[in-house]
């Protein structure tokens, strides 16, 4: 789940939304303007903005170098099982926006050999518990594979949502990350470099005995960057929408209208006789 920690450009803290009644219109206007400047600079303002299912499918297909249509059966299986949201027909207001857990489910759905197995296997992979690390003593962002992946995506999305970019050294470090999934026995490991050393996190089901490994799929750090930028897109647009909604809710009444409404009761008009 999204932790709601996305920040905005211009140094305005998003915590202001929790104190919405204390935020005056000047601050709200600056907040909305900062979102617009950031969005235009990053080209995040477009029709059907935010990370919709179609945009996630297109971005992932580009990284994997496969046709977007080849991912549709997997995403359709996730929709039917409630693992990713379903948009209302017609788009627009009905567009749905993918959060970190939805991105994780799409990522894990790439592991099954057959698209029809995607939903079942995604639930099993998502719940794989953390078993240890090499070197020992390190802990991932969550205690199950799904929460660990989601937490790492959110941490990467935070600087992107503030209009910042990863330093070249950090960027190359993320690209070196790998997620390895073994389908038999069901297990996974994440190898991530923290700037000093490679750390591998192990996730294995309790009832899976050790044995020969088969059907291993390895994903590169490019998918971390892809899903985290998609998540940052959602953060930016979501908070921009909140800023504009606040401005609409606090728009002052037109000159004279407020005084007129306060000084006299509403009149009921008599129907006009059309005869």
54 backbone φψ class: left, alpha, beta (φ>0; ψ -120 to 50): alpha
Cα 172 from Cα 186, distance rounded (Å): 29
Q: What is the pLDDT of residues 43-71, one digit of tens each?
A: 433 333 457 888 899 999 999 999 999 99
Q: What is the pLDDT of residues 130-187, one digit of tens each?
A: 999 999 989 998 899 999 999 999 999 888 777 777 788 888 899 999 999 998 889 9
pLDDT at residue 234, rounded to an integer: 81
CA–chain centroid gap for 236, Å, is: 10
Cα 123 from Cα 171, distance rounded (Å): 30
Residue 259: is its pLDDT beyond 80? no
pLDDT at residue 80, rounded to an integer: 94
Task: Tell whether pTM > 0.75.
Answer: no
């Amino acid at each position: 789940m999204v932790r709601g920690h996305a920040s905005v450009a211009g140094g305005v803290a998003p915590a202001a939304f929790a104190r919405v009644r204390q935020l005056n219109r000047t601050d709200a206007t600056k907040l909305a303007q900062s979102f617009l400047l950031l969005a235009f600079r990053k080209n995040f303002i477009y029709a059907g903005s935010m990370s919709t299912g179609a945009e996630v499918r297109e971005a992932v297909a580009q990284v994997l170098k496969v046709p977007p249509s080849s991912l549709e059966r997997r995403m359709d299986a996730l929709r039917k099982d409630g693992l990713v949201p379903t948009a209302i027909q017609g788009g627009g207001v009905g567009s749905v926006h993918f959060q970190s857990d939805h991105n994780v489910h799409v990522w894990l759905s790439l592991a099954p050999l057959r698209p029809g197995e995607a939903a079942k296997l995604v639930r099993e992979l998502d719940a794989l518990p953390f078993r240890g690390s090499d070197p020992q003593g390190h802990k991932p962002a969550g205690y199950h594979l799904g929460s660990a992946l989601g937490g790492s995506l959110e941490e990467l999305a935070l600087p992107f949502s503030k209009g910042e970019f990863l330093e070249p050294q950090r960027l190359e470090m993320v690209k070196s990350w790998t997620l390895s999934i073994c389908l038999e026995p069901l297990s996974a490991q994440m190898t991530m470099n923290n700037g000093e050393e490679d750390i591998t996190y192990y996730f294995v089901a309790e009832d899976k005995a050790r044995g020969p490994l088969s059907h291993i799929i390895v994903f590169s750090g490019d998918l971390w960057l892809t899903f985290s930028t998609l998540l940052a897109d959602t953060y930016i647009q979501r908070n921009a929408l909140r800023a504009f909604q606040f401005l609409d809710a606090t728009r002052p009444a037109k000159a004279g209208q407020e005084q007129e409404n306060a000084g006299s009761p509403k009149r009921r008009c008599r129907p006009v006789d059309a005869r």
